[in-house]
Amino acid sequence: MLNTETLHTIQAGTDEEVYSTTTRAALWMATGGWLAEADRVLTALWAYGLPHDRNVWLPDIAFMVLWDAAGTRPDFVPFPLQGIDAIEKNMRGRIALDRWSYKMPDKPWTELSGQDLLRKAYLTARLVKQDPAENRDMHSILTPSPGQEPRNMEEQMALIGKFIKSTAIEAADIFPSAETELEALAMLTKMMEEGFYSEEGLALGADLAARNGQQELAIRFAKRCVGKTLFRPVPPNLCELAASRHVAPLLLQKIVAPELGLSDQTVWDYVPELLTVLNKRITQGRSLVYGHLLWKELLGAISEAAIKADDNKQIAADMREKGWLGCPGATKEAISEAEERLGVTLPDDYKAFLAVTNGFGRVSVTSGVLLPVAEIDYLKNVEEPFAFDLLLDYPPEEGEDEETYQEKLRNAILISEYGDEQQVWLVPEDQAKTRWQTWFFATWIPGNERYPGFRHYMESELEKVESQMS
């Protein structure tokens, strides 16, 4: 997390990406034991007045717990503070939750393994309801009694609602006894020793061990939990580990610093660099990470990284052999003909791209295939009318009125293959169509990812494929 990729995201990302990435980098430090340095980063971030991002609610909780353990926190915090008792109860309810609905094997837990053992541990460690008769097992709730008629959809939905209500955290809920928690801990220890991996299970094991005075075992769970996080930035289990009231004091002793790749020197060297990049991004706006590269060099780097990351050999053999996802460049005449046909002047960075390659292959499974310039067209001309109407009904971004958003879509140009789950659009920012953004749309993400220009989008493709290999 404390790497060049993080700095690049802050340099070139949206405000939301900047806020989220900076917060998670701070949490990485804090979880490793460098809370003061993390607070320094957060204080700098919050001073810029960006809207607090609701997507960092779990890191927020982790910081509140770490601050409680340290007995100190920043003077200004841009979100409501919660009591440690309520956080502890809510985190137990979040982690020790029965996520399955199948019938459990009728065996002692010592004979269980894998997911069955994990589920049994959750059922044992979960909060105790005041009404012990309340059934919180989805399988039992939905399975008709012998001789009972199958339930209709309305009845099933009512029962599911009952199940969800039964799992909700309530003020009257209490923690199970120490004896019960130790039994759940024994199950999770067996799970860990048998090599079954569960993010939440390892975090819960650390919490139960620390809560019941078994610090050495808690540290084993914590190290194993953190050791599973290094392949992606600050996943939920790292937040859940830091949000444990009883594990947090151990984390501040730097027990998992080696697993996170942290030392005094790495943190002290990284923080000033991060703060410098953050200040430049906020005061001067988004900037290109690879701006020093010519288009040919950038596309060559993308091609090389994409082919190297293509484990399933989805990229065509001839492209793999050449090490190039592109085509011969478009002529000036071809570009002019497309501009005349569309009645626009295409953005300069896109035309510079076309001059190098008239189209570009799929960089990854989540990318679109970029079309030759002769095949690009207005989105409204390509999309099915009913589907385009659905796009017009998408909620605009915060601060953008619906009429402006819809006008942008009506003038959007589809520059990637139609029919993919994801599309790339050129979208004019003004009515004169002199300033253009690039939007990435996919059925599997909310809204659109927006880039200040086409070059920013292509650089993000390189960032994404490089992050897949790291």
Q: Read off the pLDDT of residues 206-235 as tens digits, 9 standing for 90 and up.
A: 999 999 999 999 999 999 998 755 444 445
Let me know whether 263 and 363 are in one domain.
Answer: no
Q: What is the mean pLDDT of residues 383-401?
A: 90
Both structure tokens of 399: 């601060």
pLDDT in tens, 242-259: 999 999 999 999 999 999
Give Cα separations from 422 to 177, 277, 389, 456, 469 (angstroms). 51, 31, 17, 17, 22
Q: Which has the closest alpha carbon to 210: 181, 170, 237? A: 181
Q: Does any domain span residue 328?
A: yes
User: In the predicted model, what is the mean pLDDT of the chain?
Assistant: 91
CB 445 within 8 A of CB 454: no
Task: Give yes or no for residue 464 having a pLDDT over 70.
Answer: yes
Q: What is the mean pLDDT of residues 144-148?
A: 74
Let me know whether 276 and 379 are in one domain.
Answer: no
Question: What string of H, E and C letters represents the secondary structure of 163-206?
Answer: HHHHHCCCCCCECCCHHHHHHHHHHHHHHHHCCCCCHHHHHHHH
Domain of 330, in residue numbers: 295-469
Let me know whether 327 and 461 are in one domain.
Answer: yes
How far apart CA 271 and CA 447 sit, in angstroms, is 33
Q: What is the mean pLDDT of residues 190-208?
A: 95
Let me know whether 311 and 399 are in one domain.
Answer: yes
Let me know whether 360 and 278 are in one domain.
Answer: no
Task: Give yes or no for residue 171 having a pLDDT over 60.
Answer: yes
Let me know whether 268 and 314 are in one domain.
Answer: no
Q: Does any domain span residue 127?
A: no
pLDDT in tens, 289-348: 999 999 999 999 999 999 999 887 889 999 999 999 999 999 999 999 999 999 999 999
Bridge partner list, 424: 440
Both structure tokens of 333: 């005449």
pLDDT in tens, 351-381: 999 999 999 999 998 899 999 999 999 999 9
How far apart CA 82 and CA 169 sit, in angstroms, is 15
Q: How many domains does the chain have?
A: 2
Q: What values do phi and psi take at 360, rounded to 5?
A: -155, 140
The confidence score (pLDDT) of residue 131 equals: 67
Exposed/middle/buried for residue 169 (C-beta within 10 Å: 0-12, 13-18, 19+): middle
Let me know whether 26 and 60 are in one domain.
Answer: yes
How far apart CA 432 and CA 415 sit, in angstroms, is 20
The confidence score (pLDDT) of residue 146 equals: 76
The confidence score (pLDDT) of residue 231 equals: 44
Q: What is the mean pLDDT of residues 161-188?
A: 88
Let me know whether 277 and 323 are in one domain.
Answer: no
pTM of the predicted structure, to 2 decimals: 0.84
Domain harbouring 330, CATH code:
3.40.1580.10
Among 165-179, 230-244, 412-426, name the one with the lowest average pLDDT.
230-244
Let me know whether 278 and 306 are in one domain.
Answer: no
Longest dimension (CA), the chain: 80
Q: Does any domain span residue 218?
A: no
Let me know whether 454 and 326 are in one domain.
Answer: yes
The confidence score (pLDDT) of residue 134 equals: 54
The confidence score (pLDDT) of residue 208 equals: 98
- Better pLDDT: 116 or 444: 116
pLDDT in tens, 113-136: 999 999 999 999 999 987 655 555
- Better pLDDT: 394 or 270: 270
Q: Does any domain span residue 330?
A: yes
The confidence score (pLDDT) of residue 232 equals: 47
pLDDT in tens, 7-46: 999 999 999 999 999 999 999 999 999 999 999 999 999 9
Let me know whether 355 and 271 are in one domain.
Answer: no
Residues whose CB is less than 8 angstroms from the CB of residue 131 and which lie 6 or more positions away in sequence, other chains included? none
Let me know whether 337 and 367 are in one domain.
Answer: yes
Question: What is the bridge-based pairing of β-strands 413-414 and 436-442?
Answer: unpaired
